[in-house]
Amino acid sequence: MISVDLAKKLEKHLPWEPKVGDLTIVFGEAGEEIIEPIIPKHEREKNIVLSLRSVGHLVWLPRLTMLLYELKKRSKKGFSLTYDRETDKWCYKDERLETCNDGPEDAVAQALLMLLEEKV
């Protein structure tokens, strides 16, 4: 799962259309993190509702597939996401940048954030 800090930074750049199965974090009144999935309101209804408590600020946690899709749209020659056993890190690499992190979601999210903020 993507880190909350990266998710907060990405939310400034990526529009979000909620889909069933997406995860969100709500920060409660006491500052606690409450992870909530998005669920259908009723099996027969196609409307998606947020199963969220009406407290705090909502942070969307994009899935790895969503992050990879956003990078694919911005990549000119393609990219790779690999695991390096020696460093125990996941590494994203394309023609413009390389970034490594503890998890694949964070490695990809960091690369996407760098591209969206035009730091490369």
Tell me the per-residue pLDDT of 32-78, one tens digit each, with 9 for 90 and over.
777 777 776 655 555 444 444 444 567 788 889 999 999 999 888 88
Q: What is the pLDDT of residue 48?
A: 47
Q: What is the pLDDT of residue 57?
A: 64
**pLDDT beyond 70 at 90:** yes
**pLDDT beyond 60 at 89:** yes
Higher pLDDT, 116 or 35: 116
Give the range among 4-8, 16-20, 61-65, 67-71 with minimum mean pLDDT. Answer: 16-20
d(Cα 52, Cα 31) in Å, to the nearest integer? 15
